[in-house]
Amino acid sequence: MLKINDLHISVDGTEIIKGLDLEVKAGEVHAVMGLNGAGKSTLANTIAGRDDYEVTKGSVSYFGKDLLELDPHERVGEGIFLGFQYPVEIPGVSNLNFMRTAINSVRKYNGEEAMSAAEFMKLVRSKAAALKMDPEMLKRFVNVGFSGGEKKRNEMVQMALLDPKLAILDETDSGLDIDALKIVAEGINAQRRDDTAILLITHYQRLLDYVQPDVVHVMIDGKIVKSGGKNLALELEEKGYAAVA
C-alpha cells in the first residue's frame, strides 16, 4: 500500500529525515517509535502533504501512485488520514459542519453523491457513540475548549467517518489518561481490517498494549535503524533506545 524509498526531508533548510525506507502492506499495523526530534512527526506530516516540509530526495508511493504529486486534500480523497498530535482549534466552525464538509469533499473527490443531512447525522451520531463522545461536542466549534483527551477522541470520530485505507496516527496516545487511551485504542482497532493499514507514531510502548502492532520500527535521527516484531517495543521500553539501536 505505502512504499517509501530513500526519503530525505528538510525543514527550513535543515535535513530532518535522512534516507528512510518503509513499506506498509494492507492488513498491517506498523508502529514507528523514537524519541522526540527523531523525525517521526515530520514523516507523518509529509505523508499527509504539509507544505513546509521539503522532500529533497527519494519517493513515496501509495497504491503505485506518486503520493508527493498530490495535494493534501487529494491524498485524503485517495484514502489517507492523519490523526494530529495537536488537533487544531477552529473558532467559528462547528464540528458538525466541519465533518460534513469533510465527508462530502471526499465523496465528491471520488465521484460520489453528497450525503444528505439526515444520513450524515445518523452516521456521525453512531460513530460518536461508539467512541463515547458526548453528542453535544459535535455542535461545538472544532476542538475549541476540548480537553486533550476530547481532542484525540474527536480525531478518532473523524477517522471513523472518513474510513481511510491508510491511517497515520501521530502521537494519538499522548496526553491521554488510561480510560481515554482504551477508548482511542478501540477506535483504532475498529479501523483495523484486511484492506486497511495503520501507521502508529509514538514514543511510548503503552498504546501498543492495546493496539498490537505487526511491525515495530525504531527511528533515530531521521532513519529507521531497526525493525522487528512487537517484542521490539517491549525491549525498547526496558533497555532504552541507545541500547537497542
Partner 1 sequence: MEVTSLKSYEDQVWELIGLMPGTEGLRMRALKAANEYDWPGKQDEKWRYSDIRALKNNMFEQTRPAIDAPNVPAPLSAENSARLVFINGRYSEDLSDMGDLWQAAQVRPLANHLMSNMDRADELVRGKDATACLNTALMRDGMVLSVPAGVEIDDPVEILHITINGENAGCHMRHVIELGEGASITVIERFIGDRGSYWTNSVLQARVSESAKFSHIRLQEEGADALHTAKVFANVDADANYTATNINLGGALSRLEVNVRLMTDGASATVDGVALAATEQSHDTYTQVEHLMPATTSDQLFRTIADSRGKTSFQGKVVVAKDAQKVEANQSFKALTFDKTAEANAKPELEILADDVKCSHGATVGQLDEKAIFYLTSRGIDPATARQMLVEAFTADALKAVGFEDVKQEILTRISDWMAARANKVSTEE
Which residues are near partner 1 by CB under 8 A?
A: 48-51, 71-73, 76-77, 82, 84, 87-88, 90-93, 97-99, 101-103, 105-106, 109, 158, 162
Minimum Å gap between C-beta 239 and partner 1 is 36
Least Å distance, CB 36 to partner 1, is 20
Minimal distance, residue 77 CB to partner 1, in Å? 6
Which phi and psi (to 5°) does residue 24 adopt? Answer: -120, 130
C-alpha torsion 149→44→186→1, nearest 10: 160
- Shortest CB 159 distance to partner 1, Å: 10
If the CB atoms of residues 24 and 162 are measured against partner 1, the closer one turns out to be 162
197-202 and 166-170 beta bridge pairing = parallel
Q: How far is the CB of 94 from partner 1 (least distance, A)?
A: 9
Helix H segments across the chain?
40-48, 72-77, 95-109, 117-130, 136-139, 148-162, 178-190, 231-239, 241-244
Grid cell 498491517 is found at 28
Closest CB to partner 1 among residues 51, 194: 51
Strand partners, 100: none
> Mind giving me the DSSP string for 165-180?
SEEEEESTTTT--HHH
For cell 471526499, the residue is 106
Smallest gap, in angstroms, from Cβ of residue 19 to partner 1?
26
Lookup: cell for 16: 530532518
Select 101 or 189, whichever has its Cβ closest to partner 1. Answer: 101
What is the C-alpha to C-alpha distance for residues 164 and 242, in angstroms, rounded to an integer?
35
Nearer of residues 101 and 116 to partner 1, judged by Cβ: 101
Nearer to partner 1 by Cβ, of 147 and 212: the residue is 147
Toward partner 1, which CB reaches closer, 153 or 223?
Answer: 153
First to last CA, the chain: 27
Minimum CB separation of residue 78 from partner 1 in Å reads 10
CA separation for the pair 10, 166 (Å, rounded): 24
Contact 213, 193 (CB under 8 A): no
CB-wise, 50 or 226, nearer to partner 1? 50
